[in-house]
Every structure is written in C-alpha cells, then in structure tokens.
Structure 1
Amino acid sequence: MEDIIDFVLELDKLKGVTRKVRPLGLDRYENPAEHSWQIALFALALAPHAVGNPDVARVVSLLLVHDVGEIDTGDTMAFVEEGVDQRKAAERVAVERIFGLLPNGQGTGLRDLWLEFEEEETAEARFAHAIDRAMPVLLNLANDGQSWRENGISHDRVVKRVRDPIQRGAPALWDYIESELGKARERGIFGA
C-alpha cells in the first residue's frame, strides 16, 4: 500500500508543472494535470467523431498518462519543434522512474499506455493525439491567442504542428479548427 501511496503522491507533482497557456478567465498558466483531466473529458464528448471506432476508455487512459513524465522534464509548448528527440528520451526515463514506483510490476501497464500514446499506431492513440493537439489550439482561440502572442507562434507553425495528428484522429475536429484558425488569422491573434 505504501508504494501505491508514494506513487499517487508523486503524481501530485504534475500540478506544479507550468504549461504556456492560461485556463479561460484565469490569470495563471494551466498545469499538465488540469490539461490531462480536460482532454480526458474531451475524448468522451468527442468520441462519436473519432476515426476507427476506438475504445474510449482506453483513450481516456492514454490521455491520463501521456504527460506523467513532465514531472521530471517539465512541459514544452506544443508548438515547439526543436529538440523533440532529446525531450522524448528524457521523458521516457522519467516515465520508467515514476511508474517504477508501483509494486509488483503494476507500473508496466501504465508505461505501456504511455508508449502506445507516443507511438501513435492504434486508433486509440491517434484519437488521443488529435485531442491533445487540439486543446492548446482551442484555448488559444478562446484566449485571443494568448500563448501564441507571448511566444511568437505563427499561424503557419500552428497548422504545421497540429493539422496531421488532428486529421488522423478526428477529421471533423480539424475541419472546425481549420475554419477557426482562418478567422483568428484575420483577427491577427498570432505572434508572428
């Protein structure tokens, strides 16, 4: 029992990691724990629009574990492309450590979920990626481009980073976002 309690208390550290986008109406940045909770619920709501009829309970599980490694590595803005391989390697080490806190190999299944998300080969992982990529866009659209403006992120950079994963997992979501990004471009809410 103590190992499980130590694990869940270790997860609490995710609340102290800062992301680059603000929750609606708040003057602070969100954390990955809030992000993971929100996109897990987003998956439940968006499930009828997923490609490949994924197991939504598995999608929720993928989304709940996908950022756990950020306890050790911190968050990197979704629109940053440089250094991806190094960040993913560091996150893998962190995931092994954190899920390794669980006794009797219990962490293996959680680590496998994290790997499934990273590899993006199943319908569940593709849908989870679509949602994960969409949420920062949706928050920026609702916040008048807050993190795009603060970090010099262009319209083209956003589209390049999110179009393919969203189209693969939830094309109707991409259709909506593409339209909204066009309107946002006209309003001039991007940073570059």
Structure 2
Amino acid sequence: MSQEESLQPVIDFIRELDKLKGVERKTRPLGLARFENSAEHSWQIAVLAMVLSRFAERPIKIERVVSMLLLHDIGEIDTGDTIAYATEGLEQRKAAEHAAVKRISSILRSQAGGPFLELWDEFEAAETPEAQFAHAMDRSIPIILNLANNGQSWRENGIRYEQVLKRNGPAVQAGCPALWAYLQQQLDEAQNSGWFGSIEDCISQA
C-alpha cells in the first residue's frame, strides 16, 4: 500500500468529522447569541476531564477518557442532537447513533475504526471507571454553562429543577462525587433564583 493510499482514509475520516461542527445543541456559548455545536461540546468536556481527573471516584486512564469524549457524539453527524431530557424514542435514537458511528468509523477501514466503535460502546455502557468519569463530564458541562447563563437552555426549553437533578445527579455522582457536591449546591441557588422552567412550560411545549 502506498503512502497516499494509507493516508487517504484518515483524511476522508477527518473531513467527515468536520460535519460535527454543524450539529447545533441547545446551549449558547458564554457571551454569544448562537448555539454551541457538538464539536465544541466534545472539545470542552475533554479538557474538563483532563483538569478534573484527580477527582475521579476510581483510578482512571485519562487518555482513554479523553478519547471517549472526543468521539462520543460523532454519531450525531447523521442523527443530529436531541436535548438530554427527551426520553421518548431514546432506544431508537441510540440504535441510529450506533449505526452512524459504525458508518463513520468504517471510513478508516482497518486502521482505527474498530477501536473507535469500541470506545463509543464502552461510553454508552457506562460500566468502566473511565466511562463513568466520561459520563460525569458529559452531564456536567451543560449544567456549568447554564449556571453561567442564568439557566438559558433550562428556561428556553421548560426544563425543571427536578429534571436536572434526576437526569444528571446519578451519573455525575458515580463518576466524580466532588463535582456533583459542588454542582448540587449551585443548582439549589439557581432554583432560588428562578432559573428553571416550570410544569406549565412543559405543558405549553407538549
């Protein structure tokens, strides 16, 4: 195999990943009017994991965590992003996302596609220390940004305080208890400040 032949799948893969920059999420970057994209989200949680690795509940291999976080949303190139609090059709969405990751990874042919799909599966299963810590980072970033944005996406999407606790608390607690203790205190203060949606908001959007 020539050098050009070995490099082309990598270039094709990277070009495909560029599409993740066009996948819009529900949270706005601080100080900007637009919404963040999934590529920005993946980069930010990878950095957060590096900085907070010493607070992990169990010993972890941080390189594996970072790899998971950089890859965990690439399936959204095909499926788009869905707000974390939407539970209807979750199983079907995850199946579609798995198929998308398999398709995207196959662009690399035999070079790295298999391991990338394995990392995605490990993240989704959330059973290893690395996957649990990665989940803690993934669930925390939207909270951190909303706390800095006066609850922007919570208010805009009618997300209630109880939903945020139920959806994120167990995952963050399992992977990084110190971070959840900090966030829970901040969430209580946000509740007192009226930064969450209400039941009426949820009904009006149904």
Given the two structures, how large is their TM-score scaled by the length of structure 1? 0.98
1:104-151 per-position Cα deviation (integer Å, ceiling 9, x unaligned): 252000000000000011000000000000110111111001001110
Distance 1:43 1:106 in 2: 23
The amino acid of 1:71's aligned partner reads I
Out of 6, 13, 18, the position equivalent to 2:19 is 13
> Structure 2: how far apart are the matches of 1:105 and 1:6?
13
Name the structure 2 match of 1:66.
72
8 Å CA contact retained: 1:70, 1:91: yes
Counterpart residue number, 1:132: 138
Which residue of 171, 174, 178 corresponds with 1:168?
174
Query: CA offsets per residue over residues 26-51 of structure 1, 9 Å max, x none?
Result: 11000010000000000011011101
Q: Paired residue for 2:49, among 22, 25, 43?
A: 43
Separation in 1, partners of 2:87, 2:150:
23
Distance, in Å, in 2 between the alignment partners of 1:159 and 1:81 is 15
Distance between the aligned counterparts of 1:78 and 1:21, measured in 2? 11
Give the 4+ runs in structure 1 shifted more than 6 A: none
1:95 corresponds to which of 98, 101, 109:
101
The answer on 1:75 being equivalent to 2:72 is no
The CA distance in 1 between the partners of 2:107 and 2:85, in whole Å, is: 31
Deviation of the 1:184 alpha carbon:
0.2
8 Å CA contact retained: 1:4, 1:103: no
Q: Is contact 1:123–1:169 with CA below 8 Å preserved after alignment?
A: yes
* Structure 1 segment 154-165 matched on structure 2, within 5 A: 154-165=160-171
Gaps of 5+ in 1: none
Instruction: Determine if the alignment matches structure 1 residue 26 to structure 2 residue 32.
Output: yes
Give the Å deviation of 1:77. Answer: 1.1
SS at match of 2:110: helix
Whole-Å Cα distance in 2 between the matches of residues 117 and 93 of structure 1?
Answer: 15
Which of the pair has more CA radius of gyration?
A: 2
1:119 and 2:117 are equivalent in the alignment: no
Q: Aligned to 1:180, which of 165, 179, 186? A: 186
Question: Out of 38, 53, 59, which is 1:53 matched to?
Answer: 59
Q: What TM-score do you get using the length of structure 2 for normalisation?
A: 0.92
1:170-189: CA deviation from partner (whole Å, max 9, x where unpaired): 00100001000000000001
Identical counterparts, % of pairs = 56
Q: What is the CA–CA distance in structure 2 between the aligned matches of 1:129 and 1:101, rounded to whole Å? A: 26
Q: Structure 2: any 5+ residue segments left out of the alignment? A: 1-6, 199-206
Give distance in 1, aligned partners of 2:167 and 2:95.
20
